[in-house]
Amino acid sequence: MQVSITKSDNALNVAVSERLDTNTAPVLEKQILDQIEGITSLTLDMKGLAYISSAGLRVLLLLHKTMAAKGGNFVIKYPCDEVMEILDMTGFSSFLNIEE
Amino acid sequence: MSAHSDSILLQYDHYLPAYQTIATFVKETLQSFVKEAGLLVSKVSVRVKTRESLAGKLALKGDKYADIKSITDIVGGRIVVFFSDHIEKFAAKVESTFDIDWDNSVDKGKLLHVDQFGYTSLHYICSIPEHLYKDEGHPEINQFKFEIQLRTTLQDAWANIAHDTGYKSDVEVPAEYLRGLNRLAGLLELADENFCQIRDSINQYRFRVKQLVRDGDLSAIELNIDAFEAYLENGGFRKLNERIASINNMEIEEISLRNFLPIFKNLGLQTIKDLDDLYKKYSDLAYRFAFREFDGKDVDIITSATAPMTLCVVYVLSMGMGEPVVKMLLDAALGERKSNARRAHRLAQIGQHMGLTKNDTGDDDGE
């Protein structure tokens, strides 16, 4: 998994690529949570992400809840067809803010 | 301006910090009333009368006041409520919290004769008791009086508009306009009363719907948001979600299902019984459909939207409505997205493999 994080004012933009699975999901979760204080806008760019497992879905759920609790905004951008299929199948696409 | 009025204005300048302290305390206290009551109100406001406004008042009736202490509306607080029966709840809090000058406090509604309409608002002249706030250096804070008004939004609108006529009291208003203003006050009083009745009726309806759903008496219940939520609270799609979750020993994340109400209504369901009949008739099919989706997939979490979504898809395909309607369903549930067409195609393929629909997917085979 490759992660690139840029922070400006109260916005955190995270680009994640390759695989988000049992091994990598906790790493991504920690990297984002470590910088989330004061953040009101979180964007997760999934353009380069080829696979997401349930562990990855749980990170998305945690980030959604964390941002919602502070009235912030969480947007997922550009998931590939395979990742989108998982988000649809599990019903995650019905509550996550997704830009294709 | 008389010398007496000038002297009162000088007192105002001297005591302005004390009045500001009172205003801050009153505002915090009124806000705490609202928070404790857990009621939604239109407005909580507190203001200190400006020097210009006081000068205007003194110019009109300065002789009436002995000193600044005898003017009781230098600080004015107001709670504006949506429902007239909330006034008494806040009235009780005001009476039990502040020292009330009963001789000068008025329930304007009670001042009116039974054959009169007019401004009905509750005005309290209060002071802050020492056990609530005390500043040894400024004993006047407990001596100065202030006014608290409790009114409804409609009373507030009436008072603001009536005040905007430029007349300071009923006596000044020409009779023909006074009649019009009072007629409107009567109308608003009636509206305030009706709003309370409508709110009570809605609450009673919700309670009745919950009972009917709980008792399984579903046929008479119109499919609306109250009935739908009662149905969900009563178990709704839980069993189907649990069956689907068992396919991969999946965890179910509960999410709001409110967005499915318009979808079910668009499918032609009119009562909760229609919904329950659909649920009972298509549950097994929906489970088998979900099994084809989830079996062998590396997924161990779903949301509670899985059951209603799968039910809708299975119903649409079974009724021969096909892939375009499945896409419309996804657009309605998820918002219009590029991926909905691809997803609809995939779902229609599963339906075709299950024999729910003839091949309208454009494929000879699917998975």
- Mind listing the domains of chain A with CATH numbers? 20-99 (3.30.750.24)
Q: Which amino acid, residue A68? A: A
- Spatial contact of B186 and B117, defined as CB atoms under 8 Å apart: yes
Lowest mean pLDDT among A79-83, B87-91, B207-211, B275-279: B207-211
Question: B301 and A85 in contact by Cβ < 8 A?
Answer: no
Chain B residue numbers touching A58 (CB-CB < 8 A): 301
In a domain, B265, yes or no: yes
In a domain, B217, yes or no: no
Coil/strand/helix, residue B289: helix
Residue B238 shares a structural domain with residue B121: no
- Extended strands (E) in A53-100: 73-77, 97-99
> B192 to chain A, minimum CA–CA distance in Å?
34
A85 and B CB contact within 8 Å: yes
- Average pLDDT for B50-78: 90
Residue B261 shares a structural domain with residue B163: no
CA-to-CA separations, B84 to B44, B119, B155, B198, B246, in angstroms, rounded: 15, 13, 9, 12, 52
With pLDDT > 90 as the criterion, what percentage of chain B qualifies?
65
In a domain, B365, yes or no: no
Alpha helices per DSSP H over B44-174: 51-61, 87-97, 108-111, 140-143, 153-164
Predicted local distance difference test score (pLDDT) of residue B360: 52
What residues contact residue A100 under an 8 Å CB cut-off, 6+ apart? A78, A79, A84, B337, B338, B339
Closest CA to B341 of B350, B353, B356, B328: B328
Predicted local distance difference test score (pLDDT) of residue B81: 96
Residue B324 shares a structural domain with residue B266: yes
Residue B16 shares a structural domain with residue B154: yes
Interface test with B, best of A62, A94, A95 (most B CBs within 10 A): A94
In a domain, B253, yes or no: yes
A20-58 pLDDT tens trace: 999 999 999 999 999 999 999 999 999 999 999 999 999
Question: B334 and A91 in contact by Cβ < 8 A?
Answer: no
Residue B189 shares a structural domain with residue B236: no
- Average pLDDT for B246-267: 93
In a domain, B245, yes or no: yes
Confidence band (pLDDT; 50, 70, 90) for B103? Answer: confident
- Average pLDDT for B53-70: 87
> B300 to chain A, minimum CA–CA distance in Å?
6
In a domain, B41, yes or no: yes
Question: B298 and A53 in contact by Cβ < 8 A?
Answer: yes
Residue B229 shares a structural domain with residue B157: no
Q: Which amino acid, residue A63? A: L
Is the pLDDT at B28 greater than 80, yes or no? yes
Please give the residue range of the domain that contains residue B337: 225-353
Torsion of CA B208, B209, B214, B218, to 10 degrees: 120
Stronger pLDDT, B97 or B298, i.e. the higher one: B97
B40 and A CB contact within 8 Å: no
Question: B303 and A95 in contact by Cβ < 8 A?
Answer: yes
Question: B342 and A95 in contact by Cβ < 8 A?
Answer: no
Q: Which residue of A84, A85, A92 is in closest CB contact with B303?
A: A92
A·B CB contacts under 8 A: 61
Is the pLDDT at B181 greater than 80, yes or no? yes
Stronger pLDDT, A5 or B165, i.e. the higher one: A5
Lowest mean pLDDT among A86-95, B90-99, B118-127, B187-196: B118-127
Residue B177 shares a structural domain with residue B45: yes
Numbers of helices and strands, H then E, in chain A:
3, 5
With pLDDT > 70 as the criterion, what percentage of chain A qualifies?
100
Predicted local distance difference test score (pLDDT) of residue A41: 95
Stronger pLDDT, B130 or B364, i.e. the higher one: B130
Last-in-domain residue among B179, B195, B211: B195
Question: B303 and A86 in contact by Cβ < 8 A?
Answer: no
Residue B189 shares a structural domain with residue B231: no
Predicted local distance difference test score (pLDDT) of residue B120: 67
Closest CA to A96 of A66, A68, A76: A76
Residue B191 shares a structural domain with residue B230: no
Coil/strand/helix, residue B367: coil
With pLDDT > 70 as the criterion, what percentage of chain B qualifies?
91
In a domain, B206, yes or no: no
Is the pLDDT at B366 greater than 80, yes or no? no
B291 and A CB contact within 8 Å: no
Is the pLDDT at B152 greater than 90, yes or no? yes
Closest CA to B141 of B297, B21, B283, B14: B21
Residue of A nearest to B347 (CA): A89
Predicted local distance difference test score (pLDDT) of residue A72: 95
Residue B232 shares a structural domain with residue B189: no
Q: Which residue of B300, B333, B339 is in closest CB contact with A94?
A: B333
Is the pLDDT at B364 greater than 60, yes or no? no
Is the pLDDT at B367 greater than 50, yes or no? no
Domain tally, chain B = 2
Lowest mean pLDDT among A6-15, B54-63, B244-253, B343-352: B54-63
Residue B11 shares a structural domain with residue B136: yes
CA-to-CA separations, B361 to A28, B323, B328, B335, in angstroms, rounded: 39, 7, 15, 22
Is the pLDDT at B93 greater than 60, yes or no? yes
Predicted local distance difference test score (pLDDT) of residue B50: 95
Predicted local distance difference test score (pLDDT) of residue B19: 95
Chain A residue numbers touching B309 (CB-CB < 8 A): 91, 94
In a domain, B213, yes or no: no
Residue B185 shares a structural domain with residue B246: no
Predicted local distance difference test score (pLDDT) of residue B107: 62
Residue B153 forms beta bridges with which residues? none
Question: A94 and B337 in contact by Cβ < 8 A?
Answer: no
Is the pLDDT at B307 greater than 80, yes or no? yes
B343 and A CB contact within 8 Å: yes
Q: Report which secondary-structure segment, H or E, holds A45.
A: strand A41-52
Confidence band (pLDDT; 50, 70, 90) for B113? Answer: low
Predicted local distance difference test score (pLDDT) of residue B109: 56
Question: A89 and B299 in contact by Cβ < 8 A?
Answer: yes
Residue A71 backbone zone (phi > 0: left; psi -120 to 50: alpha; other: beta): left
Cα gap B35→B41, rounded to integer Å: 10
A48-83 pLDDT tens trace: 999 999 999 999 999 999 999 999 999 999 999 999
B299 and A CB contact within 8 Å: yes
B189-234 pLDDT tens trace: 999 999 999 999 999 988 888 888 888 888 778 999 999 999 999 8
Predicted local distance difference test score (pLDDT) of residue B215: 84
Q: CATH number, domain at B36?
A: 3.30.460.10
- Angle B3-37/B87-97 helices, nearest 10 degrees? 120
A86 and B CB contact within 8 Å: yes
> Does ipTM top 0.90?
no
Structure tokens at B286: 């929906």
